[in-house]
Amino acid sequence: MIKVAVVGSTGYAGEELVRILFNHPKVELKYLISHSYAGKSFAEIYPNFNKITNIICINIETFLQNKIDDCDVVFAALPHGLSEDLAYECYKKNILFIDIGADFRLENQEDYKTWYGKEYKYPEIHKDSQYGLCEIHGANIKDKKIIANPGCYPTSIILGLYPALKNKLIDSKSIIIDSKSGITGAGRELSLGAHYAECNESIKAYKVGSHRHTPEIEQELSKAFGENIKISFTPHLVPMNRGILSTIYCNLTKELDTNDILEIYGEFYKDKKFVRILKENTFPEVRNVRGSNYCEIGLVVDKRVNRLVIVSVIDNMVKGAAGQAVQNMNIVLGLEEDLGLNLIPTIF
């Protein structure tokens, strides 16, 4: 059995990770680390785990002192800036570290400084880390010890755009991305804006043109295309617990119709279990993937304006965080990619 610890286990992504790992047939969940709830039982914080686990949360100091060496894999779901020290410890000890946070996603330290306002503490370990969008980078992560799990918005967007860019179907200057996320995307920190009555029965745009996922999206799209790409990106908050739907607009540079492009997408993702390309005139809904590791993509060429419109949905908590983290672990450790991830979406 693979021995696993989850640091930041009592945030939203952490809880989801525990839920998935708990039923993973090759995993033994050893330690749950929590800053806010150390000493409390996990099932007290998350009563859905009543009668399922008796694990007591411990703090990070205890974990580092005398527990970390028991582990094969450490997952971290922490606010940015807090993962690096832990990654460094794991790296020294040759323990696989999978970071659900943002600290290892940007290859260019300047970008990190610009968008997150901090410098890397251990630049040397960043070189040995790998951005782990499984369907794109699966082959590259196998020998890595630090995996940067992609952000939720970037996962939906990069999977949606990658084949079009790779195949140079579109004008790289024309990309506009309009994303809509459920409220868990805002995290579990106390905030008035996350109160039920403050976001229910409403929708809002936020951080228009300035969300921190922008450089991550641009980095990966640029690599796909082979040139620097800048995008427009607007995230929105929608009154639902989970899920992201990204609507992506771009100008076609060739004369193509919907089925031509569907064929290219189908071919590109043909071996990727977790990507579903919908047939013509069908578009994804968040509920089609809720609770699962799937990314579902529909697209259409709007002939009137010669523009390609791509709609991509994921569950922000699963494919956008915990599920993909487990998928990354599976790949690095040479397990079946979908082990523990056979979650059928809960359409209701």
Q: Could you list the active site residues?
A: 152
59 binds a second copy (CB under 8 A): no
209 binds a second copy (CB under 8 A): yes
Residues 139 to 198 in contact with a second copy, rule: CB under 8 A = 173, 176, 178, 180, 182-184, 188, 190-192, 194-197
Judged by CB, which is closer to a second copy: 157, or 311?
311
Judged by CB, which is closer to a second copy: 26, or 188?
188
Q: In this structure, how many other beta carbons lie within 10 angstroms of the beta carbon of residue 315?
A: 32
Contact indicator for 313, 156 with CB cutoff of 8 Å: yes
Q: Which of 234, 264, 266, 338 touches a second copy by CB under 8 A?
A: 234
Residue 6: CB minimum distance to a second copy, A: 14
Which residue, 251, 151, 250, 160, is CA-closest to 207?
Answer: 151
CA–CA separation, 16 vs 18, rounded Å?
5
CA–CA separation, 102 vs 82, rounded Å?
9
CA–CA separation, 133 vs 324, rounded Å?
8
* Total residues in contact with a second copy, by rule CB under 8 A: 83
Residue 292: CB minimum distance to a second copy, A: 8
Segment contacting a second copy by CB under 8 A, of 3-11, 46-54, 63-71, 128-136:
46-54
Residues 241 to 280 in contact with a second copy, rule: CB under 8 A = 241-243, 245, 247, 249, 273, 276, 278
Residue 41: CB minimum distance to a second copy, A: 12
Judged by CB, which is closer to a second copy: 94, or 200?
200
CA–CA separation, 224 vs 163, rounded Å?
8
Judged by CB, which is closer to a second copy: 33, or 322?
322
Across the beta sheet with 146-148, what order do the strands follow?
Answer: 27-33, 2-7, 73-76, 96-99, 146-148, 129-131
Task: Return the HEC string of 41-66.
Answer: EHHHHCHHHCCCCCCECECHHHHHHH
Residue 238: CB minimum distance to a second copy, A: 5
